[in-house]
Amino acid sequence: MASQFLLLACLAMTASIALASDPSPLQDFCVADPSGTVPVNGHVCKDPKLVVADDFFFSGLHLAGNTSNPAGSKVTPANVAQIPGLNTFGISLVRIDYAPWGINAPHTHPRATEILTVLEGSLQVGFVTSNPENRLITKVLQKGDVFVFPVGLVHFQHNVGNVNAVAIAALSSQNPGAITIANAVFGSKPAISADVLAKAFQVDKDTIYDFQSKIIWWSQTTIRLIKFVLAYKVKQILSICLSSENQSIPKMASRFLLLALLVVMTCSIALATESLQDFCVAQPTRLAAVNGVVCKDPNLVEANDFYYSGLDIAGNASTAFGSRVTSVRVNQIPGLNTFGISIARIDFAAWGVNPPHTHPRAAEILTVLEGSLQVGFVTSNPDNRLITKILQAGDVFVFPEGLVHFQYNVGYTTAVAFSAFSSQNPGTVTLANTVFGSRPHISSDILTKAFLVDKQAIYNIQARF
């Protein structure tokens, strides 16, 4: 019995370490294969030998969506349904177009936090905290402003101008889902009982019938407000099969019981890594050392904790590389803490490069706003295969977590891109700086053997960093 408890303790510690974050890919990528017949929580992997650059590519985010619907908005998604290479990477993008005074109606994303930046126009945005406070946190955004919507909370956007507005949003899931509150409550099929809704909303049944009739008419005669939902549904199956031909043996039974306990405990550990409150706004002044940042007192949280301004301002690309990255991470938006997402603006001078680098803690999804970029990433050993593509305005490309990748402006004009990352702090390892510019230097003996050149060549490169 003691040995079994010891085994349980050891396995529990191992499981807690292994499952302290969302499951990570066990290969460079797992491009979705919709034709696969095995039901999984996500998609079956395509044969890596058949993977091509187009599996990580999408074109069309430069095109304005049709906002001629009652809400006056249109969402254009770039998730795993459009980009198979996003599978397992935990991130996606959308473009949202708004007619004058149009809204993206109150809704939730059950599986994702959202970070949004305004490209054109002015938007009033907001979210409502959970029970019992139900506090509205709201802000009016201008071009270049950024705002964060916590996972699962009701939120909205409203164009508060007489001109069209455009926003780009990143979401911390390859398939975030969307629940438009009015549609879900008053437009379900079959309809939720009027008795239930009358009590829930404290109104009479006639009011409920009126709401339901309008929502049903709306859903039948207009384009849906949200286009997040995948074209096909993916079954999510969790099955634990414990069997034995000889159930009467106490030793075998005890092992099954131990396994069952471990499964339950492992599931609870995995679930406990999710946010346990609406938000945990970072408070860097606290002294406690944690994997992230300590939470600010929720009573002191305000809209500015979820806000950043400045992504409309061009970065100074007059550098040796001809590029400038303007990051919006948890250091810039304290409200990003624990949400596993961040964004950046990248400016390129003519023929500028964002040199080969990695993000050790995040996948990246990039869309071009202006100009033309050659982008690419290199698979890991032993293949070291370059997967590359030329992008134009509105094109989207995905870079797998931890792989070497780059962007290169292949034009005589400046270029601008917007990137989202599947971490609040993805980290950046620029290879040239790291290998040849470390402090102190990596031994030239090591580098000469690694790069198969003489020491003088190593010294010449190190002198530049």
Binding site for oxalate: what residues are annotated? 104, 109, 114
Quote the CA–CA distance of 65 and 11 in Å, as a whole number.
Answer: 52
For the purposes of burial, counting CB atoms within 10 Å of the CB of 192, is it exposed (0-12), middle (13-18) or buried (19 or more)?
Answer: middle
Helix (H, G, I), strand (E, B) or coil at 136: strand
Buried b (16+ CB within 10 A) or exposed e, 263-282: eebbeebbeeeeeeebbbbb
Q: Are 15 and 22 contacting, i.e. CB atoms less than 8 angstroms apart?
A: no
CA-to-CA distance for 9 and 5, rounded, in angstroms?
Answer: 6
The percent helix, strand, coil of the chain (3-state, each to 5) is: 25, 25, 50
Write out the DSSP string of 253-301.
Answer: HHHHHHHHHHHHHHHHHHHHTS-SSS---B-TT-----SS-PBPPGGG-
Spatial distance between the Cα atoms of 135 and 127, rounded to a whole number of angstroms: 8
Ramachandran assignment for 101, one of left (phi > 0), alpha (psi -120 to 50 degrees), beta (any other): left
Nearest CA among 328, 280, 372 for reference residue 168? 328
Sheet with 123-128, side-by-side order of all strands:
136-141, 123-128, 154-159, 103-108, 179-180
- Residue ranges of the annotated binding site are 104, 107, 109, 114, 155
Treating both helix axes as pointing N-terminal to C-terminal, what angle do 194-201 and 205-221 enclose, rounded to 10 degrees?
A: 110
- Identify whether the C-beta of residue 185 lies closer than 8 Å to the C-beta of residue 101: no
Query: What are the two backbone dihedrals, phi and then psi, of residue 386, each rounded to the nearest 5 degrees?
Result: -85, 125
Q: Which amino acid is at 335?
A: G
DSSP state of 464: T
- DSSP of 70-81, one letter per residue? TT-EEEEEESTT
Show binding-site residues for Mn(2+).
107, 109, 114, 155
